[in-house]
Structure formats: C-alpha cells, structure tokens
C-alpha cells in the first residue's frame, strides 16, 4: 500500500519548507489541501504551488468548516479520511499539507486518529514544519524562552480567564487566533502591565506579513485570522 505523508509546510514562506518536504511533495501522486472556507485560497497550497506538477499530480482541496459543531466537523474528517484511504488502497501516495506543523493545532491530528482506528494498515509518515510561533519570534528578533523561563501557548479562544492565569504563571505567553477577543486581550495586557513587552505578528512568512512592537500601533490594527501575540 502507498504511504500517507502529513507535511508541515511552515508559516507561508516557501523558503522555510524543509528539503525532505520538498522531495516528497515533488513525487507524491495526490496532494490534499485543507481549507475552512471554499471561497478562500489554501495558504498551505499557495506555499507549495511552485513544486506541483498538475500534469501528473492530482490536487484536492477539501473543506474543514470553521465551526464548533462537532457533528459537522466529524463528517468532514470522516469524508477526508475515506478519500485518503481510497487513494492509498489504489496505490497512490498522498500528501496532506498543513501550515505550520502537522501535530501542532492541526486538522491532521483528528484525521490521524480516524485513520488509525478505521484503517490501521495505512502507513503514515509525518514531516514536521516550522510553526508560526518560531517564524514570528524570528521576524521580531525576540527570544521565546531562556534559562529557567517557562512558556505557555494558548488559543485566545480559550477565554480571558485562562489567558490571565497564564500571564500570572509564565514568563512568555503566546496567544494564537487572537482576532475574536483582540480588544479584550489588549485591555488585559494594559491592566497587567504586559503591554510594554508585547509583539504582534500577522501572516508570518507571507507577502502580507506584519510585525508590530508599538502597543499603540497594535491597538489601532484590525487583526487578520492568522495573527498572534508574543507576550514577554
């Protein structure tokens, strides 16, 4: 049976793709790219566009809806898993591509569980990718942790209470998906005195990347979905 590759393509900069990922992507039969909205382009697919040869490779864009409805999500995961299994059983290798890393807040985690439960014979190889956190820290030239420091990574959607608790316990806090609670987060940072040590990074590694270190500029900005805060 062919192999399923889960490939992290990094934050959006094609030059941050690993050599191993590039080699596999040039040779697989099928490339599966996830999107949350079919009207939007896949960031992962855009990142690897120059590597694809559509004369011999099939590219499939599959929607994984951005919803908390577990039934809708399960249906999307199950459909994708069945599609992958069908290709593999017919001898076609598949690369599931994801921005960042396949095992870091990635849709692939849920797919992997389904595949291992329902198609345990499938061989899966995971190729790690550079996360948006590492890319953002590099762009801002800011250390994430040093010496005995501790770091917490939290999806901002976890809520203000959990963010406040992390700020009280960790020297560095990285908040992902900050858009929904952006104004509340900024107010919390001012109340806790962390506003002077906050970096905002949006679309790290892409042509649209933005790095803001001045808190006043951060307050005036309307964030994109792919944005984060590094709070020291």
pLDDT level of residue 17 (50, 70, 90 thresholds):
very high
Q: Are 35 and 98 in the same domain?
A: yes
Domain count, the chain: 2
How large a percentage of the chain has pLDDT more than 70? Answer: 100
CA gap 204, 202 in Å, rounded: 6
DSSP-H helix ranges across 14-107: 19-27, 43-47, 70-89
Are residues 116 and 143 located together in one domain of the fold?
Answer: no
Last residue of a domain, one of 64, 97, 127: 127
Instruction: Answer with the one of 103, 127, 151 that is the final residue of a domain.
Output: 127
205/219 same-domain check: yes
By the 8 A CB rule, do 129 and 7 touch? yes
Q: What are phi and psi of 100, to 5 degrees?
A: 70, -130
As a whole number, mean pLDDT of residues 9-32 equals 96
- Backbone φ and ψ for 118, nearest 5 degrees, come out as -100, -25
Instruction: Give yes or no: residues 60 and 170 share one domain.
Output: no
Q: Pick from 109, 127, 145: which residue ends a domain?
A: 127
Query: 154, 133 in Cβ contact below 8 A?
Result: no
Cβ-contact 218, 186 below 8 angstroms:
yes
pLDDT score at 169: 96
What average pLDDT does the structure give for the chain?
94
- CATH number of the domain within which 76 lies: 3.40.1010.10
Provide the CA 213 distance to its chain's centre, in angstroms.
23
Examine the domain organization and report whether 84 and 196 are in the same domain: no
Per-residue confidence band for 184, with pLDDT thresholds at 50, 70 and 90? very high
43-102 pLDDT per residue, tens: 999 999 999 999 999 999 988 877 777 888 888 899 999 999 999 999 999 999 999 999
Question: Is 94 in the same domain as 137?
Answer: no
- How does residue 164 score in pLDDT terms, banded at 50, 70 and 90? very high
Phi-psi region of 52 (alpha: psi -120 to 50; beta: other; left: phi over 0): beta
Residues 116 and 175 in one domain: no
Same domain, 140 and 105: no
Q: Can you give the CATH number for the domain in which 155 is found?
A: 3.30.950.10
Query: Based on the domain organization, do 22 and 105 belong to the same domain?
Result: yes
Share of the chain above pLDDT 90, in %: 85
Do residues 19 and 74 make contact, with C-beta atoms less than 8 angstroms apart?
no
Same domain? For 109 and 17 the reply is yes
Read off the pLDDT of each residue in 152-180 and give the average, rounded to a whole number: 96
**Rounded average pLDDT over 137-155:** 96
- Look at residue 208 and tell me whether its pLDDT is greater than 90: no
Q: Return the pLDDT at 152.
A: 98
112 pLDDT more than 80: yes
Residue 21: what pLDDT?
98
Predicted confidence (pLDDT) at residue 38 exceeds the cutoff of 90: no
pLDDT tens, residue by residue, 122-134: 999 999 999 999 9
**124, 117 in Cβ contact below 8 A?**
no
90 and 178 within one domain? no
Question: Domain range for residue 208?
Answer: 132-231
Check whether residue 153 and residue 57 sit in a common domain: no
């Amino acid at each position: 049976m062919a192999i399923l590759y889960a490939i992290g393509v990094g934050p959006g900069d094609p030059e941050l793709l690993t050599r191993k990922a590039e080699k596999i992507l040039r040779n697989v039969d099928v490339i599966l790219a996830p999107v949350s909205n079919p009207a939007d382009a896949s960031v992962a697919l855009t990142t690897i566009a120059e590597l694809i040869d559509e004369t011999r490779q099939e590219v499939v864009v599959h929607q994984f809806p951005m919803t908390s409805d577990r039934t809708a999500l399960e249906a999307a995961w199950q459909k994708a898993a069945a599609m992958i299994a069908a290709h593999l059983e017919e001898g076609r290798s598949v690369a599931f591509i994801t921005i960042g890393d396949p095992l870091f807040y990635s849709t692939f985690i849920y797919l992997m569980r389904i595949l291992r439960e329902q198609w345990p014979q499938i061989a899966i190889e995971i190729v790690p990718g550079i996360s948006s956190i590492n890319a953002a820290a590099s762009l801002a030239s800011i250390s994430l942790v040093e010496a005995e420091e501790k770091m917490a990574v939290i999806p901002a959607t976890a809520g203000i209470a959990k963010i406040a608790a992390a700020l009280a316990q960790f020297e560095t806090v990285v908040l992902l998906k900050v858009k929904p609670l952006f104004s509340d987060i900024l107010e919390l940072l001012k109340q806790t005195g962390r506003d002077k040590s906050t970096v905002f990074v949006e679309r790290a590694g892409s042509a649209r990347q933005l790095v803001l270190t001045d808190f006043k500029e951060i307050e005036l900005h309307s964030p994109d979905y792919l944005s984060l805060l590094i709070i020291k």
